[in-house]
Chains A and B, each alone.
Chain A
Amino acid sequence: MAKGPLVLPVFLVLAAAAMAVMLLVALSTRLSPLPYSQVQPNGYKLRRWWFVILSVGLVAIFAVTLPWFPYPPLRAAAHAAKNDTLYVKITAQQYGFTMPSVLPLDRRIVFEVTSLDVNHGFGIYDPRGQIVAQVQAMPDYVNHLPVTFTRAGRYTVRCLEYCGIGHASMQGGFDVR
């Protein structure tokens, strides 16, 4: 599922909250001033809470989101165990991709992505134009990208690593059905 569009409202809410708090602090200078010795103890107490909430919260987010990390299983045997997996070779080269024109719906695909020249990006956009998966295409290395397409239609592939002056024109596509 494309997560990009969900990120924007989350960002805007968090950014607005942070700005609101900081602007309130700025506006507090219109009130009668307090001695710093009076401000510090409460400020430090609050800070302790902020430290705990932020530390625990961030570590919890890392742990809870681990299952959504896009990486393939570390052991090759785990790949092989999925005997219905389709392995698809993708080769990037200035300024195009070599890849199949049709791919299956609802089947686990592992893209084996490499490059014949410079670093490229292999970015897959769904029929609505949202990124659904990406990986780097590197010379001398093969990156394995597991994807299962659950929506039929025309997918566009765009290069997502700057690769030279033809970078913006480097795209391709395939049908999923």
Chain B
Amino acid sequence: MTSARRVLWIYLLTGIAVFTLMMLLGIAMRAEQARWVAFGPQIFYAMLTLHGGGMITSVALCGMGGLWYLMRREGELSARAALAAYALVVLGVVAVLLSVFPGGFAAGWTFLYPLPFVGATWASWATGTFLIGIMLVSLGWTAWCFQILAFTLTRYGGWGGASGWNLVFKRDAEPHAVPPPQSIAAFVVAVDGILTGMAGMTIGTALIAHWLSPSVLIDPLWAKNVTFFFGHAFANLTIYMALGWVYVGMARYTGREYHTTKILAIAWWATLIFVAVAYFHHLYMDFVQYRPLQYVGEIASYLSAIPATAVSVWGSMLLVYRSRMRWTLGSIFLFTGLIGWVVGGIGALLDASIPLNFDLHNTLWVPAHFHTYLLGGVFLFALGLIYMQLEERSGRCSPPLLRWVVGLTTFGGMAVFLLGFYVAGANGVPRRYALEPSPGPLTASWATVGALLLLLGLLVVLIEAIRLARLPAENPA
């Protein structure tokens, strides 16, 4: 019998391992853009393809493990089903890895039709393997979402209970049938996640059909919509999965209680909608797109800031304000993750404004903001979860000096790394350029130095995690 904690660690450690590998690729690419090294465009774009797909999958794996574990604490949940979903995702990652190295597939994680098939410098089998990999990841993700959805529906008395509908509209909702905040999050992630996974499988199937029979033609605008719906929502949901344990962790570290309220439930319904429709902002520069969808994209992107800041961030700040907060590495990572999420969100809101997007679309401003909330948000949330587990198990936390060292190297390096993207993006340096126009090489140099400092900090984080893990368990599973 696989224990719940084992499932959690399998997901988390795989996610962190893939993340580390992708981070090394990211540093290599920034070094190439700084003109410190020269891999050449074939290798650069192969690395870019792997980095994009691999990073999102790595944080998704952390999110899936973390949220599954929290749900498992609420009731019975099959570890075997969770591991089957995990196996599908990992098989997908392996397929994508093989398609890129040695296959040389370099059409980007976006694989925008018809790019994988036109002017390809890679073998046809690499295209097929990549697409099969995307299908496997989507399949594993969808299976996980179905498990979580089925669980929340069973545990909280159907759709009305799991979604918080009964709490909001029925006066006689029984307190024990009201899901805790992390379960509302899990319900919303599962519903949006199923839509996302189905979109991934739809575009994957269409492209595989074209790969097998080139006479099957696909509408490029339709393909772009489905691809970005899949990619945007999947990336977005990694944040919302992590919020599940941010709610739990902040309450634990502050010694205060975080309940599900009517406002929280409504905020998550809004999030469910915004995650699904904000992706239209990826198509702002496709002027042939049906015009009202462009407006929906901007409004949904803007309004997504409301549930995020007014409920999740605000709620967490209230928990912390003048509390007996225990500042350990775990709580520091969770708290700074919230800062990264907000700061990245500000960059995203600016980019989601159509008049500004006209100048920023596909410049380095785009990776600037999503690196802020993925690296400075979701990844820190994942580290927060890991340290929360280690601190809880050992009953110990890291010494203050070490917390300062980690803070200065990790957050300082991260800030320098991210600023390189923002400055270049504001100056119109295009994204996805192996060789960037000025001031790209200069900002890439700062960014590389920042990334190396961050790497050093994360090495300290790793060594400290191993030290805590080796301490005798005070609170065993």
Instruction: Tell me whether B294 is interfacial, beta carbon within 8 Å.
Output: yes
CA distance A169 to B272 in the complex (A): 41
Name B321's contact: one of A23, A39, A121, A145 (CB within 8 Å). A39
Assess the B41–A165 pair: CB atoms within 8 A: yes
Nearest residue, chain A, Cβ from B42: A165
Q: How far is the CA of A125 from the CA of B356 in the complex (A)?
A: 15
CB of A132 to closest CB in B, whole Å: 8
Let me know if B428 and A4 touch, CB within 8 A: yes
Chain A residues near B121: list those with CB within 8 A. 164-165
B287 touches A162 (CB 8 A): no
Asked if residues B115 and A164 are in contact (CB atoms below 8 Å), the reply is yes
A81 near B: Cβ within 8 Å?
no
Among A29, A61, A69, contact of B322 (Cβ-Cβ < 8 Å): A29
Complex contact B309–A5 (CB within 8 A): no
- Which stretch (B79-87, B298-306, B456-464) binds chain A? B298-306
Chain B residue nearest in CB terms to A18: B342
Listed in ascending order, the chain B residues whose CB lies under 8 Å from chain A are 41-42, 44-45, 106-108, 110, 112, 114-115, 118-121, 219-221, 224, 256-257, 285-288, 291, 294-295, 298-299, 302-303, 305-306, 309-310, 314, 317-325, 327, 335, 338-339, 342-343, 346-347, 350, 353-356, 358-363, 365, 422-423, 425-428, 430, 432-438
The reply on A142 being an interface residue by CB < 8 A is yes
Which residues of chain A are within 8 angstroms of B353 by Cβ–Cβ distance?
A: 61, 65
A52 to nearest B CB, angstroms? 10
The verdict on A143 contacting chain B, using a C-beta distance below 8 Å, is yes
Main secondary structure of the interface of A (DSSP, over half): mixed
Q: Tell me the nearest residue of chain B to A13, going by C-beta.
A: B346
* The residue from B310, B354, B362, B428 contacting A47, defined by CB atoms under 8 A apart: B310
20 residue pairs from A and B, CB less than 8 Å apart: A7-B426, A14-B346, A19-B339, A19-B343, A29-B327, A33-B323, A36-B256, A36-B257, A43-B318, A50-B309, A51-B306, A58-B303, A59-B302, A61-B353, A62-B298, A65-B355, A70-B358, A129-B427, A140-B219, A165-B41
Taking a contact as CB atoms under 8 Å apart, the answer to whether A28 and B309 are in contact is no
A7 to chain B, nearest CB (A): 5
Encode A131-144 as 1/0 by CB contact (under 8 A) with B: 11111101111111
| CB-contacts of A1-47 with B (<8 A) | 2-5, 7-8, 10-11, 14-15, 18-19, 22-23, 25-26, 28-29, 31-34, 36, 39-40, 43, 47
Contacts of A5 in B (CB 8 A): 426-427
In the complex, A3 Cα to B347 Cα: how many Å?
Answer: 14
Contacts A61-B302, A94-B118: A168 and B322 contacting too (C-beta < 8 A)?
no
| Distance (whole angstroms) from the CB of A22 to the closest CB of chain B | 5
Contact A129 B438 (CB under 8 A): yes
* B-side contacts of A143, CB under 8 Å: 285-288
Please report the C-alpha to C-alpha distance between residue A62 and residue B322 in the assembled complex, in whole angstroms. 37
| Chain B residues near A109 (CB-CB < 8 A) | none
4 A-B pairs with the lowest CB-CB distances in the bound complex, closest first:
A8-B426, A68-B355, A168-B433, A58-B302
On chain A, the residues within 8 Å of B362 by CB distance are: 121, 123, 134, 160-161
